Amino acid sequence: MANKIFKMITILFFLVLIGCDQNPFDKLYDPTGDGALGGEWGYWKIYDDQLNTRGGVMLCPSEEHQTFAEVTGNPRSGTKCIKYCYDGTTLWDKEKNRWDKWAAALLIVAPTWQEYEEEEKNLSPGEYKKITFWIRGNLSPGAKIRFEGPGDYERKECDFLALPTIPNNWTPKQIDLIGKSELSRAKEFFKIVFHGGGGTVYVDDITYSK
């Protein structure tokens, strides 16, 4: 009897999953199909031992003198966290047509940087009010770090958190989504920006929440 009940529940479960255009196994991974849980869930963890966005990582203004990796040493939770390093070398900025001392790692919607301009995601159904995350690390003298939500910082079209230092121990931080970031047409989920110098930052448990 128990086996029959289990089989019936399993069948009903998969009938619900396939009752849409989305691949049923994708629906297990991404319940709303648009990258924003929202509703009764109230949050979406975009990184916890893995990148849960289906997107990729883009390094700017070039991939030189910086590294982005998942490491197992002393994560905040689970078994892995993000480690991002920039050695502070002046890099050529193609958009500004000049040499500058900054570097950034972007968690992007597109799977690769080549498709960055073509891909975007509607995050507005989630009704998110903040991005929370944990950090630790260090900055070189004169360096600063900034964490950004979706949008263009130079055009003042993204919400962000700027810090003059990075704590040595795991510390919670938060970006308040106050309306500068356009969540309905996001090309990035989260950005880490060094400027004025380099450093190393570890990041874990990046979460969009209400």
19 vs 14, 22, 23, 41, 71, CA distance in Å? 8, 8, 10, 21, 39
pLDDT in tens, 115-169: 999 999 999 888 899 999 999 999 999 999 999 999 999 889 999 999 999 999 9
Query: Is the domain of 19 the same as that of 98?
Result: no
Domain that includes residue 24, residue range: 1-30
| Secondary element (H or E) of residue 14 | helix 2-17
Q: What would the 3-class secondary structure string for 50-61 be?
A: CECCCCCEEEEC
Query: Is the domain of 8 the same as that of 112?
Result: no
**Is the full-model pTM beyond 0.85?**
no
pLDDT in tens, 101-127: 999 999 999 999 899 999 999 998 888
Q: Is the separation of the CB atoms in 32 and 123 below 8 Å?
A: no
The CATH number that applies at residue 84 is 2.60.120.260
> How does strand 199-209 pair with strand 160-163?
unpaired
Q: Is the separation of the CB atoms in 157 and 204 below 8 Å?
A: no
Query: Is the domain of 56 the same as that of 154?
Result: yes
Query: Is the domain of 14 the same as that of 42?
Result: no
Domain count, the chain: 2
pLDDT in tens, 70-99: 999 899 999 999 999 999 999 988 887 889
For the chain, how many residues are written? 210
Query: Is the domain of 2 the same as that of 57?
Result: no
Chain centre to alpha carbon of residue 129? 15
